[in-house]
């Protein structure tokens, strides 16, 4: 599932498989499919996540089943 992050406010550290990126307000970051990542806002902030295929509910259903 391809994802994009649009940083609305603050700074976020996006950590990918073997690298990290610092993004600030108005930056857009694209995450390739099947890439592990984490996000960290040290001082708070907001980020919008966009899912390309629009089937985020399937992802949520899998997470709920695994809990």
SS3 state of residue 62: helix
pTM for this predicted structure: 0.69
Please give the DSSP secondary-structure letter assigned to residue 61: H
- Give the position of tokens 């966009």: 50
> pLDDT by residue (tens digit) across 9-26?
999 999 988 889 999 999
**Is the Cα torsion angle 25, 45, 35, 33 positive or negative in sign?**
negative
How far apart, in whole angstroms, are the C-alpha atoms of residue 45 and residue 11? 7
Task: Let me know the angle formed at the C-alpha of 41 by 39 and 43, rounded to the nearest 5 degrees.
Answer: 170
Q: Point out the residues of the chain with pLDDT beneath 70.
A: 1, 52-56, 66-67
């Amino acid at each position: 599932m391809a994802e994009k992050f649009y940083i609305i406010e603050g700074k976020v550290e996006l950590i990918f498989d073997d690298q990290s990126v610092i993004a600030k307000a108005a930056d857009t970051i694209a995450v390739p499919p099947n890439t592990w990542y984490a996000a960290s806002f040290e001082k708070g902030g907001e980020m919008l996540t966009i899912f390309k295929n629009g089937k985020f509910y399937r992802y949520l259903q899998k997470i709920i089943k695994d809990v």
